[in-house]
């Protein structure tokens, strides 16, 4: 048995051990039976089409309607899976809001996209090293290995042949302070994990795509036919796309940009782009920190306790069983009725990049045969 720790598991463990115990892959692995709409997920599904590498050189008049359709299809799939007696949603209003967000993005993104997409919405997995012996994998309680899993929104390559992980962040709140992005351990750990997943690839850093979900004041909007996407065309040598062998490009060392700044930020019309460069020491330390935390997770004498706070509980799916335990009642009946045991690896049918094993070392080897 291989112990699997996801990025969500790790965040839950540090936030509230009781929530982690309910939801984590190595624990009860529970998920709610009913969920309401998820605008963030629909926007992510749409941007996966916007940045799909195979269509990057296509005419925008062809691609952008497909992006909006991907958003609509995502909402439709969500609606089909809901019992609307438990979720009253104005789906037309939600669709209008999503289209407004995307059309604002269509106007803004070409001004700042200075890369070419390589992969979208791709799952990764990486064997966690043993802090006592980094050349060996961290053993779980039964001696098997421990694997860290996650998903990246976009892998991109810039004009200097440097690889970046791009993270789309939709929020109705003010954008996070730059200092929070510098301390974002999940994105930093993704850089470390991706390098282990793809031997030989070095990740330069993270590009944060912060998008406001708050409706902007009506303003001048161009039609879809007037939009032109930016970025590096896939047919150019530095594009890293269809015209260049993927296995060869993975082992290309990027060239440092002249006067490269650690943080570069630009914003406008409800969107902000922040580029954060990471040095080798930061990336290596992220893996060591992850291993230290997982050692706590797999301890046989680990104590489980809640960490109640308004910021945690307001959005937690497990408030009802948590209250039951707090009041010394049976939580198992609630978990059985309102939650299901999810699969170790969540594979969403039809999602771009939605493979249970991604396209890691096997993809590179197969490409060379």
Query: Can you give the pLDDT at residue 247?
Result: 45
Over its C-alpha atoms, the chain yields an Rg (Å, rounded) of 21
**Contact at 8 Å (CB) between 211 and 169?**
yes
Query: Can you give the pLDDT at residue 37?
Result: 79
Dig out the tokens for 237 from the structure: 């040598």
Query: Can you give the pLDDT at residue 1?
Result: 62
Query: Can you give the pLDDT at residue 327?
Result: 95
CA–CA gap between residue 133 and residue 56 (Å, rounded):
43
Query: Can you give the pLDDT at residue 216?
Result: 58
Sign of the CA dihedral running 195, 363, 57, 75 = negative
Query: Can you give the pLDDT at residue 229?
Result: 81
**Spatial CA neighbour of 47 closest among 23, 15, 74, 27:** 74
pLDDT in single tens digits along all 369 residues of the chain: 678 999 999 999 999 999 999 999 989 999 998 777 789 999 999 999 999 999 998 999 999 999 999 999 999 998 887 766 666 678 889 999 999 999 999 999 999 999 999 999 999 999 999 888 888 888 887 788 899 999 999 999 998 999 999 999 999 889 999 999 999 999 999 999 999 998 889 999 999 999 999 855 555 555 665 677 878 887 655 544 543 444 445 455 556 665 589 999 999 889 999 999 999 999 999 999 999 999 999 888 999 999 999 988 998 999 999 999 999 999 999 999 999 998 866 655 555 655 444 444 333 323 332
Sign of the CA dihedral running 183, 189, 190, 195 = positive
If you ran DSSP here, which 8-state letter would residue 277 be given? Answer: E
DSSP H or E segment with residue 136: strand 133-137
The domain segmentation of the chain, as residue ranges, is 3-368
Query: Can you give the pLDDT at residue 365?
Result: 28
Q: Which pairing describes strands 3-6 and 129-130: parallel, antiparallel, or unpaired? A: unpaired
**In Å, how far from its chain's centre is CA 291?**
20
């Amino acid at each position: 048995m291989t112990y699997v720790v996801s990025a969500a598991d790790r965040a839950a463990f540090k936030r509230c051990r009781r929530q982690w115990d309910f939801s984590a892959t190595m624990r009860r692995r529970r998920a709610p039976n009913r969920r309401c709409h998820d605008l963030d997920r629909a926007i992510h599904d749409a941007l996966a089409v916007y940045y799909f590498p195979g269509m990057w050189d296509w005419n925008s008049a062809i691609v952008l309607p497909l992006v909006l359709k991907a958003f609509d299809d995502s909402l439709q799939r969500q609606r089909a899976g809901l019992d609307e007696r438990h979720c009253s949603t104005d789906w037309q209003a939600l669709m209008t809001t999503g289209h407004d967000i995307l059309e604002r993005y269509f106007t803004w993104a070409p001004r700042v996209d200075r890369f070419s997409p390589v992969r979208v919405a791709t799952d990764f997995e990486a064997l966690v090293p043993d802090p006592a012996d980094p050349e060996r994998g961290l053993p779980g309680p039964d001696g098997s290995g421990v694997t860290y899993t996650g998903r990246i929104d976009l892998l991109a390559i810039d004009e200097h042949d440097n690889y970046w992980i791009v993270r789309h962040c939709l929020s109705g709140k003010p954008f996070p302070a730059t200092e929070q992005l510098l301390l974002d351990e999940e994105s930093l750990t993704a850089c470390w994990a991706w390098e282990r997943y793809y031997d030989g690839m070095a990740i330069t850093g993270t590009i944060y795509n912060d998008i406001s979900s708050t409706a902007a004041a009506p303003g001048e909007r161009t039609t879809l036919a007037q939009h032109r996407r930016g970025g590096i065309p896939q047919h150019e040598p530095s594009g890293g796309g269809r015209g260049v062998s993927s296995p060869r490009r993975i082992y290309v060392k990027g060239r440092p940009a002249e006067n490269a700044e650690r943080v570069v930020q630009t914003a406008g019309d409800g969107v902000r782009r922040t580029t954060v460069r990471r040095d080798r020491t930061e990336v290596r330390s992220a893996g060591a920190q992850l291993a230290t935390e997982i050692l706590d997770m797999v301890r046989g004498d680990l104590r489980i306790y809640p960490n109640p706070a308004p910021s945690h509980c307001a959005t937690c799916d497990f408030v009802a069983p948590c209250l039951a335990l707090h009041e010394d009642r049976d939580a198992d009946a609630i978990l059985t009725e309102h939650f299901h045991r999810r699969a170790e690896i969540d594979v969403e049918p039809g999602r771009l990049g939605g493979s249970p094993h991604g396209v890691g070392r096997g993809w590179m080897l197969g490409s060379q045969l």
